[in-house]
Structure 1
Amino acid sequence: MAHQTHQEAIKALHECMEACNHCYDACLKEDDLNGMRDCIRLDRECADICAYLEQAITRGTPFVSELAQACAAICERCGEECKKHDHKHCQDCADACFKCADACKKLIA
Structure 2
Amino acid sequence: MENMTMTSHVDTCFDCAKACEECATACIEAGDTDSKGHDMTACIKLCRDCADICTLCGRLTARGSQFMKSFMAVCAEACEACAAECEKHASHFAHCKACAEACRKCAEECRQMAA
> TM-score when scaled to structure 2?
0.88
Pick from 94, 101, 113 the counterpart of residue 95 of structure 1.
Answer: 101
Q: How many residues align?
A: 109
Unaligned 5+ runs, structure 1 = none
Q: Is the 8 A contact 2:7 2:62 kept in 1?
A: no
Question: Following the alignment from structure 2 to structure 1, what is the Cα–Cα distance between the partners of residues 5 and 42?
Answer: 31
Pick from 32, 44, 47 the counterpart of residue 43 of structure 1.
Answer: 47
Greater relative contact order (Cα 8 A, min sep 6): structure 1 or 2? 1
TM-superposed deviation, 1:9: 1.1
1:56-105 per-residue CA deviation (whole Å, 9 max, x = no partner) reads 11122101211000000000110010000021100000000000001111
The range that moved more, 29-38 or 40-49, is 29-38
- Which residue of structure 1 aligns with residue 27 of structure 2? 27
User: Identity percentage over the alignment?
Assistant: 37
Pick from 73, 93, 113 the counterpart of residue 107 of structure 1.
Answer: 113
Specify the code of the residue in structure 2 equivalent to 1:20. Answer: C
Unaligned 5+ runs, structure 2 = none
Specify the code of the residue in structure 1 equivalent to 2:77. Answer: A
What secondary structure sits across from 1:44 in the alignment?
helix
> TM-score when scaled to structure 1?
0.92
Note the aligned Cα RMSD (angstroms).
1.7
TM-superposed deviation, 1:3: 1.9
- Which residue of structure 2 aligns with residue 78 of structure 1? 82
